[in-house]
Amino acid sequence: MRVRSSIPARRPIILLLLLALFPGTAPAPPTPDPAWVWPVDGPREVTSPFRAPAHDYGPGHRGLDMSAPVGAVVHAPADGIVAFRGVVVDRPLLTIDHGDGIVTTLEPVDSTLTPGAPVTRGEEIGTVANGGHSPDDQLHLGVRYNDVYVNPMLMFGDVPRAILLPCCAASSAISSHDRSSVFTHEGGRVGRSL
């Protein structure tokens, strides 16, 4: 009697498990037109940048923190509808639904707005408060696109294109057509150019 393997029957289950454990990257949000306005007046000083987690429950920073003194006026970065205002743990939050799957959360923010209230780009929506995970004199801004956190700087038009440069000085001038050049550092081979 021949015993059949159950592996072919398990392939769909294995595939679904792999897709659940290793999802693809989230699509980038649409570029807003016009670009969003910075939520606080003064220089743009990011004190803690966005750091995407490797997976849904991994460590990271799902937003950015910016310098903003307690009591500073907070402006709506774009048009939207207030989705939530309240305190979560020790943080006064304000969440705005901008439509098309884009939602922002600002914290700590004291506001008198109520859920359902429309806001316009640049409108005063509250003031920087105390509380939350950031030190005093900072405002946290998180942006979700279709329930996935994305880099808020994408919405301000401020994410420069990454340009990869060699880590070390090249031993000789390299022609853009010479794709076999080798970069060296202190006499040792470092890598090969494209």
DSSP states of 75-89: E-SSSEEEEEEEEET
Per-residue pLDDT tens over the stretch 29-58: 777 778 899 999 998 899 999 998 888 888
Domain range 46-156, CATH architecture: Distorted Sandwich (2.70)
- Residues of the chain within CATH 2.70.70.10 domain(s) are 46-156
Q: Which amino acid is at 70?
A: V
Per-residue pLDDT tens over the stretch 116-126: 999 999 999 99
Q: Judge contact between 128 and 47, C-beta under 8 A.
A: no
pLDDT tens digits in sequence order for the chain, 194 residues long = 555 555 555 554 444 444 444 444 556 777 777 889 999 999 889 999 999 888 888 888 899 999 999 999 999 999 999 999 999 998 999 999 999 999 999 999 999 999 999 999 999 999 999 987 778 899 999 999 999 999 999 898 766 666 777 776 554 444 444 444 444 444 444 333 33
| Interior/surface letters 111-123, b for 16+ CB within 10 angstroms, e for the rest | bebeeeeebebee
For tokens 């670009």, what's the residue?
35
For tokens 């090249």, what's the residue?
170
Q: Judge contact between 181 and 173, C-beta under 8 A.
A: no
